[in-house]
Structure formats: structure tokens, C-alpha cells
Amino acid sequence: MGASSPPYFRKQDYPPPVYHFPPPAHPAHSLIFSDMNLKDLCSAYNKKYRSASPETVLADLASVADNGMTFSSSFGLEDQVITDMIFSAGLQVEIFTLDTGRLFPETYSTLQATIERYGKPVKVYFPDTSTVEELVTLKGPLSFYESKDNRMECCRIRKVIPLRRALIGKKIWITGLRAGQSENRKNLSLFIWDDTYKIIKYNPLLHWSLQEVQMYISSRNVPYNPLHDRGFPSIGCQPCTRAVNEGEDFRAGRWWWENNSSKECGLHLTAR
């Protein structure tokens, strides 16, 4: 089942780029949350920050968000870039992860390496114990292979419901989505109104290429999941993720047995 392609991530391929830390000073913030509703802020932010660097935008928004910004990380390459930007600049942004209980050992190692590297906590959300117990008791530990409904049920219990808890009281949800990751994501905007969770979604690396992400990781010596070097461009739960072969789509290794799936788990289903 493993990929036969060359290592997915080879540090030696990339020249050292120049990055500027801490982020440059930014002008006084003119679009305060209380000035208009959050939905209107999305289009305002898309205009205001069209050409700004992620570091600038993150610092700008964190300075006015009053702890209302949160970042969901699954420790993929893009997530590790954003984590480095947030922790290195000391921004007031919570970083959280959803521990489904089915993650790869390498993912836990990456969490540990991240905590040690930055000396800062990553908040962990678990699914509800009794609901997971009931699911596994009634349907077994591998029910997600039997049907898409079963798979969505498992994702809902282990990911979506904990995500709802993580977003309570937050105004801006930062994600590691990139336009180049899949067809579903190529027309996204930098800022999106998420009507499901009633929150502004900010995708700082939306227009970054994979090579730019890799260069950042390499130049800053950011810890990353070693599975990326073994053919796993997108890493989720262990039983639902496989390595991809050369030429396969970025998300091809996720729920690969579902031929017509949109390859999303319910976390990122909202509009552009």
C-alpha cells in the first residue's frame, strides 16, 4: 500500500529563503470586530489583506481579537508553518488539535516535538467518551469501511463535535488550507464566512505553493510529521489514510475506498 515515489520531502532540494521575524509593525487596526458583524468583516478583510503577508495579518488580527482567534492544527506541513508563525511571534492565538484516538504514532511524536520546540501548549480536544464507547460497542472498531454514512458518523463523533467545542466563543478560525491541495479548495478565499459555525475562517497559506511551505519548514527547522517523507501528503487518522503514488491527488490517500467522496470530513465543508 505504500508509495513507490521518491521521498515526498527532501530538505536538500531547497535553497535557504529569507524570512523576516518578528512580523513588521502594522498600521492601526481600522476594522474592529464590534464595528460591523463578522460576516461583513470577511469581505472587508479580503480587500484589506489581499497583498499582506500571513505574518502581518496574523499579528494584526491577534492584536484586536481579544483571544477570539484559534488555530486548528493536525500537524501537517502547512499547520506547522502557521504554528511557527504564531509561537515565534508570541501571538495571542490558541492552537488546538482534535485527538480522535485513531491518529498515527508519528502524529503524536510531532505534537510532542512541537511542544518541546516552542515550550508552549497545544490544547487537545477528545471526543465524548461514552459516545465513542457506544459507537465501537455497537458497530465495531472499523465501521467506517462499511459505508460512507458510517464513516461520516465516526468523523462526526471523533472530529466534528469536538471541533464545535473548540470553536465556542471564537471569532476567527485559522486553518492550513491551501488552494493547491484539492479541487474543492482551489477557489476558496483568504477569508471565508463559515455559516455552519458562524465564524470567520482565515486561510493564511491559501496561495502558497507546496514548495514554499517546504522551504519555510526547512529554513526554520520546524518539526514536521515524518510520514510526509514516506508518501503521505495529507495525514489524518491511521486507518483512514494511506500513502499516495506519484501523480495522485494530494487527498487521494484519505478515505481511498470512497470513489466519489469529496474527501472532506465535515470540518471544512462551507462556502468560499
Catalytic residues, by residue number, are: 265
Closest chain position to ligand SF4 (CB): 237
Q: What 3-state DSSP class applies to 229?
A: helix
Instruction: Collapse the DSSP code of 200 into the 3-class scheme (helix H, G, I; strand E, B; otherwise coil) and give the result.
Output: strand
Write down the H helix ranges in the chain.
38-48, 54-64, 77-89, 105-118, 129-139, 148-155, 161-167, 210-220
Q: Which three cell numbers stand for residue 20?
A: 523576516
Judged by CB under 6 A, the residue of 56, 100, 107, 218 near ligand SF4 is 100
Supply angle C-alpha 202, 91, 35, rounded to 5: 55
Indicate which single residue of 73, 236, 244, 251 sits in contact with ligand SF4 (rule: CB under 6 A): 236
| Contact indicator for 192, 200 with CB cutoff of 8 Å | yes
Range 2-31, binding ligand SF4 (CB under 6 A): none
CB nearer to ligand SF4: pick between 26 and 156:
156
Q: Which is nearer to ligand SF4, 222 or 237 (CB)?
A: 237
Binding string to ligand SF4 for residues 213 to 232, with x set by CB under 6 A, is what? --------------------
Shorter beta-carbon distance to ligand SF4: residue 154 or 172? 154
Choices 84-92, 151-159, 187-195, 210-218 (CB under 6 A): range interacting with ligand SF4:
151-159
Residue from the set 155, 172, 199, 200 that interacts with ligand SF4 by CB under 6 A = 155
Q: Which helix (H) or strand (E) holds 194?
A: strand 191-194
**8 Å CB contact between 2 and 243:** yes
- In the complex with ligand SF4, the residue whose CB is nearer, 89 or 161, is 161
Cα gap 14→132, rounded to integer Å: 43
Interhelix angle 77-89/210-220, rounded to 10 degrees, is 50
Q: Is 240 in the site for ligand SF4 (CB under 6 A)?
A: yes
Q: Which of 264, 255, 243, 266 is nearest to 147 (CA)?
A: 255
List residues bridging with 202 in a β-sheet.
174, 191
Which of 9, 49, 118, 144 touches ligand SF4 by CB under 6 A? 144
Q: What are phi and psi of 193, to 5 degrees?
A: -80, 120
Binding segment for ligand SF4 (CB under 6 A), chosen from 11-19, 152-160, 190-198, 217-225, is 152-160
Q: Which of 57, 79, 265, 268: binder of ligand SF4 (CB under 6 A)? A: 265
Residues in the interface with ligand SF4 (CB under 6 A) total 13
Question: What is the 8-class DSSP label of residue 233?
Answer: S
**Residue of 9, 87, 151, 235 interacting with ligand SF4 (CB under 6 A):** 151
Beta strand 172-174 pairing with 199-202: parallel
Question: Where does this chain touch ligand SF4 (CB under 6 A) — which range of 64-72, 83-91, 170-178, 234-242?
Answer: 234-242
List contacts with ligand SF4 (CB under 6 A).
100, 102, 144, 151, 154-155, 158-159, 236-237, 239-240, 265
